[in-house]
Amino acid sequence: MLSDSNPKGVIVTDKDFKLPSPTEVAVLELLSGKEMYGLEMVKASDRLTRGSIYVILNRMEDKGLVSSRVAETTGPSAGRRIYSSTGLGQRAYAAWQQAQAAFALSWNPGVA
């Protein structure tokens, strides 16, 4: 059910789908339900760094997990991109949460 098309129009199917990496999860967690700039994400998270954030976002955009648009501002900050989670990204995050819950349950079967 995890099929979706990324901005390039490439269909991502269950076969291609991989759980997001921990840094990608950190990004998806921040982007759940809102749009953010890269620097905002770095400031809001302990896991993300200035040096890696745009490389990660670029990779995630290629995978179709996030999408971006150029923010409508003028002046020196013109051209900055604002990021949001795609449908596939949201489902990937949900799948990761379920996997975490299942893993925790397998370690502590008594705790339901």
Partner 1 sequence: MREHEEQVKHLWEVASNNAKMLKKTQDYLKSLKKQISEVSTALNAETRTLTETEEALLKGALVDIKGLLEEMPQPIRTVGTKTVSKVGKLRGNRNTKSVITSPGSLVLKVAEFLCTKKVYERVFLQAVLDMRGEYNEALSSGRKEKAQWVLIRSYLALTWSVTLQVIEFLLSGPAKIIKTLWS
User: Which residues would be at the binding site for partner 1 (CB under 8 A)?
Assistant: 37-39, 49-52, 54-55, 57-59, 61, 68, 76-77, 79-81
Rounded distance between C-alpha atoms, residue 61 and residue 54, angstroms: 10
The residue (of 83 and 93) whose beta carbon lies closer to partner 1 is: 83
Q: Please name every residue paired with 85 in a beta bridge, in sequence order, or none if there are none.
A: 66
The residue (of 70 and 102) whose beta carbon lies closer to partner 1 is: 70
**Chain centre to alpha carbon of residue 10:** 18
**Which residues are CB-neighbours of 85 under 8 A, at least 6 positions away?**
28, 31, 32, 65, 66, 93
CB of 105 to partner 1, least distance (A): 34
**Which residues are CB-neighbours of 99 under 8 A, at least 6 positions away?**
19
The residue (of 38 and 89) whose beta carbon lies closer to partner 1 is: 38
CB of 99 to partner 1, least distance (A): 24
CB of 86 to partner 1, least distance (A): 15
The residue (of 83 and 96) whose beta carbon lies closer to partner 1 is: 83
